[in-house]
Each structure stands twice: as structure tokens, then as C-alpha cells.
């Protein structure tokens, strides 16, 4: 009897984990993926619809996994899991029940805009594809009004307890470039506000400095360390008493877990508590949590892919009777799209694992901390998109294997030929 590995969730973490299991455990395991959609949504590319009609077609960012799963020997079951019994090793939900030998929970995160009164009612938010389409309509309205000569003010905000600020920085820079390309930039005041203690605080001083410089160059007024308390029609109010009037507000709300599994150890936002080197769920056996749904404080696809590989390789070793010795070392990589350039960062991270201090740049691996700014990186982001579609849409690993090695070499080459902005 082959052991069954259940993967719950068909996001970037779940798909990479299943692909890595195929790579390392091959025919030695049955892989069953439980997903409430059967679709891989490439969230990092949800930033594009407001500025690119090409990306308003959902087929470009939503990959139907059903055929690919069948071809790669993965049983894809479409239902919503709501209970995991780690003692009897069963996953349940919607009348379904799936016994497992190993399980990987990759159910991702969700948004809770209601934590800030008025945010959902008075601002556009980013997270899902529908949110991006609504924002696309708003951006079109901004341009129409500007072409009538109306002066407008846009306020961007990252709320407290948001755990992935990067996309909001992309949105503000892309908006600024888009308005310039539409020849209406001079009719807009743009303000950026964030609850973070510095710009992209988790990614360290270099990225803060590069971002601060970018705000100044683009004439964007920016403030960090400001906690959004309430949003009224056309007015954002902050805990320190300051206010930002707006015609348009675009907010990134607080994060919560998408699913809270009763009986599993979770933090105060529902994220599953797991060992940050193996992603084994605390107090359980053969149960792992990865991606946005796990309790690592920074939610990022690139980190999710790393967690997925570690867990899959360790399960493959365990099944083969070898000692699982793969350990996750958080190394973030991001390309901040600006529409006229790209800000690239590779950031080695360190975290105490219990939340008593925030994530920080790992000083031991300081030589890995790299920031670059150049149009080439914008092209690189599109290259990553195409590779993700080709690899992940067919259950082949993105973050390991020959194609990833080639991409790593290319990234190193690009690091050498592009300048550091700080």
C-alpha cells in the first residue's frame, strides 16, 4: 500500500508541494489534492488588471488544474475542508472524508477589512481578482475625470495586521506611472500611508531607503507608522489624529487565515502554528502547514514555494525510510513592478518563531541582501510569470529543477549588470 499524501489547497504553495512530491517521491506515494476551486490563482499578477487590459482576462491568471492533475497522477477532489483530525489522520468537510498518511495544509489567507470601520464601504481594496477588476474601473474613471480637468487626490493605505505590503507599493508606483503615461499626472495628488514602522519594514533598511527615494522622485507624499482607524466617505482617519482627505482610496486590509481548522494550534489570526524549519504543525505528526496559511509573519509566494519544497522533500525521505533533514531557511525574493522600471530585492530573513520580535534581515547572511532598480527587472517579472504558467500549470516545480537553476543564473547575471539604488 502506498502512503496517501493529502494536499489541501491549490494555490501556489499547494501546487508547488504536489509538484515537488512528484519530483522526489514519484510513484511511491498517492497524491490527493483537495481544493474548493480546482484552480491555481496566480495572485502576484492580480496587480495588473487596473493598468493592462490583457490581464483583465481571468484565463491569464487562473489556471484550471483538472486536466494537468490527471496527467501527472494527482487525484484532484473539489470540496472545502473544514476539519482535520491529526490523531486519526482524517480530513473532513462538506460530507467528504479523506484519510491520510501525510497531510500538507496550504489553504492560504483571507482579508478582514471590517477591522477598520468604513474601509470596505469607502475604499477600493486589493486581494482577489474581482477587487482588481473593480479598481480597473475606478482607474478608468480617474482618467475620465482628469481629462475633464478635475483635480483628484488618491490615498493608498496598508492597514495594521496586513502581512504582505509589497503589492501596495507596486500599485502606488504603477498608478503614478500610468497617470503620467496618460498625460494627467499633474492633476493628481498621491499620498501613501502604511502602518509598517518603515517602508516594506520586514525587508530591511536598503529597501526602505530605495522606496523612500522612489516616493520622492515621483512626487508622492508618504508616511509610515500610521495606523488607519476609520474611513469615512472621502476621509481617512488615523490613530494619531491625523487625517487624509481623498477622492479615491485604495487599501490593503488586515490579514486572517482563510480557514480556521478547529483542533489545530493557531495564532490570534487563525494562522497554523508550525515549526519554522520543517513546517510540521506543532504537537502533531505527519501534518504540515505551508504558505500564507502558516504562521510565518510575512506572506509571500516566494516563501510559500520554499516551504512547499522543504516539506515535500522531507516527506519523500520519510517514505523512503531516510532521515528527513531538509530545513527551511527564509530567503525572500521580490520584483516590485513600477510600470516604467522594476525594483528587485533578495532578502535573507530571520525570525524568532514565537512572534516576540518581528521578522528582520538576517545579519549572518547580510551578503545575500541585494536591492537593484532597473527596467530589466520589469522584464524579469514577466519572464517569471510565463515560467510559472508553464511549470505550475502542469504540476512541474517552479522553485527547483533545471529551469529554476537557469533562472537563478540569469538573476545573478542581472544583479551584476544592474545598479543598486542605495
Ligand X SMILES: Cc1cc2nc3c(=O)[nH]c(=O)nc-3n(C[C@H](O)[C@H](O)[C@H](O)COP(=O)(O)OP(=O)(O)OC[C@H]3O[C@@H](n4cnc5c(N)ncnc54)[C@H](O)[C@@H]3O)c2cc1C
Binding stretches for ligand X (CB under 6 A)? 8-14, 34-37, 41, 43-44, 46-47, 80-82, 106-108, 126-127, 164, 166-167, 258-259, 291-293, 299-302, 304, 334
Q: Which is nearer to ligand X, 65 or 146 (CB)?
A: 65
H-helix or E-strand spanning residue 244:
strand 243-245
> What's the closest the beta carbon of residue 98 comes to ligand X, in angstroms?
11
Q: Which is nearer to ligand X, 113 or 166 (CB)?
A: 166
Q: Which is nearer to ligand X, 331 or 360 (CB)?
A: 331
Alpha-carbon distance 256 to 293, whole Å?
Answer: 9
> What's the closest the beta carbon of residue 243 comes to ligand X, in angstroms?
27
> What's the closest the beta carbon of residue 245 comes to ligand X, in angstroms?
26
Q: Which is nearer to ligand X, 244 or 337 (CB)?
A: 337
Rounded to 5 degrees, φ, ψ at 314 are: -70, -40
Q: Which is nearer to ligand X, 36 or 101 (CB)?
A: 36
CA-based radius of gyration for the chain: 21
Task: Please state whether beta strands 102-105 and 4-8 pair in parallel, antiparallel, or not at all (unpaired).
Answer: parallel
CB 395 within 8 A of CB 10: no
> What's the closest the beta carbon of residue 334 comes to ligand X, in angstroms?
5
Alpha-carbon distance 194 to 167, whole Å?
Answer: 12
> What's the closest the beta carbon of residue 106 comes to ligand X, in angstroms?
5
Question: Can you list the pairs that 374-377 forms with residues at least 24 positions away whose Cβ atoms lie under 8 Å?
Answer: 374/341, 374/342, 374/344, 374/414, 374/418, 374/419, 375/340, 375/341, 375/342, 376/342, 376/414, 376/417, 376/418, 377/335, 377/341, 377/342, 377/343, 377/344, 377/414, 377/418
Q: Which is nearer to ligand X, 13 or 116 (CB)?
A: 13
> What's the closest the beta carbon of residue 292 comes to ligand X, in angstroms?
4
Residue nearest to ligand X (CB): 11
Q: Which is nearer to ligand X, 124 or 302 (CB)?
A: 302
Strand partners, 71: none
> What's the closest the beta carbon of residue 294 comes to ligand X, in angstroms?
8
Nearest to 179 by CA among 200, 153, 157: 153
Amino acid at each position: 500500500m502506498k502512503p496517501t499524501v493529502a494536499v489541501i489547497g491549490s494555490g501556489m504553495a499547494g501546487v508547488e508541494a504536489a509538484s515537488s512530491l512528484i519530483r522526489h517521491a514519484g510513484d511511491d506515494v498517492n497524491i490527493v489534492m483537495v481544493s474548493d476551486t480546482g484552480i491555481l490563482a496566480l495572485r502576484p499578477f492580480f496587480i495588473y488588471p487596473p493598468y493592462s487590459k490583457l490581464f483583465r482576462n481571468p484565463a491569464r491568471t487562473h489556471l484550471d488544474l483538472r486536466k494537468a492533475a490527471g496527467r501527472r497522477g494527482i487525484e484532484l477532489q473539489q470540496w472545502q475542508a473544514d476539519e482535520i483530525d491529526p490523531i486519526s489522520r482524517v480530513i473532513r468537510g462538506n460530507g467528504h472524508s479523506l484519510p491520510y498518511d501525510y497531510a500538507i495544509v496550504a489553504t492560504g489567507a483571507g482579508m478582514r477589512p471590517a477591522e477598520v470601520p468604513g474601509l470596505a464601504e469607502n475604499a477600493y481594496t486589493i486581494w482577489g481578482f474581482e477587487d482588481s477588476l473593480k479598481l480597473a474601473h475606478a482607474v478608468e474613471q480617474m482618467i475620465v475625470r482628469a481629462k475633464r480637468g478635475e483635480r483628484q487626490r488618491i490615498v493608498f493605505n496598508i492597514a495594521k495586521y496586513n502581512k504582505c505590503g509589497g503589492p501596495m507599493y507596486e500599485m502606488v508606483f504603477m498608478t503614478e506611472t500610468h497617470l503620467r503615461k496618460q498625460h494627467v499626472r499633474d492633476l493628481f495628488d498621491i499620498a501613501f500611508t502604511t502602518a509598517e514602522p518603515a517602508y516594506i519594514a520586514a525587508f530591511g533598511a536598503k529597501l526602505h531607503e530605495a522606496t523612500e527615494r522612489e516616493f520622492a522622485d515621483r512626487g508622492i507624499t508618504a508616511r509610515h507608522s500610521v495606523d488607519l482607524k476609520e474611513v469615512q466617505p472621502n476621509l481617512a482617519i488615523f490613530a494619531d489624529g491625523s487625517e487624509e482627505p481623498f477622492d479615491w482610496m485604495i487599501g490593503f486590509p488586515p490579514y486572517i487565515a482563510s480557514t480556521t481548522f478547529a483542533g489545530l494550534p493557531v495564532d490570534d489570526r487563525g494562522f497554523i502554528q508550525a515549526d519554522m524549519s520543517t513546517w510540521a504543525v506543532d504537537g502533531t505528526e505527519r501534518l504540515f502547514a505551508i504558505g500564507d496559511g502558516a504562521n510565518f509573519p510575512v506572506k509571500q509566494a516566494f516563501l510559500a514555494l520554499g516551504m512547499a519544497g522543504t516539506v515535500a522533500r522531507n516527506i519523500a525521505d520519510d517514505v523512503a525510510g531516510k532521515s528527513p533533514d531538509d530545513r527551511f531557511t527564509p530567503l525572500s525574493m521580490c520584483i516590485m513592478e513600477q510600470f516604467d522600471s522594476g525594483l528587485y530585492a533578495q532578502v535573507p530573513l530571520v525570525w524568532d518563531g514565537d512572534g516576540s520580535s518581528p521578522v528582520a534581515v538576517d545579519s549572518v547572511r547580510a551578503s545575500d541582501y541585494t536591492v537593484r532598480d532597473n527596467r530589466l527587472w520589469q522584464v524579469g517579472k514577466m519572464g517569471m510569470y510565463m515560467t510559472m504558467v508553464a511549470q505550475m500549470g502542469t504540476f512541474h516545480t517552479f522553485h527547483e529543477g533545471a529551469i529554476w537553476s537557469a533562472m537563478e543564473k540569469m538573476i545573478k547575471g542581472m544583479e551584476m549588470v544592474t545598479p543598486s539604488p542605495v
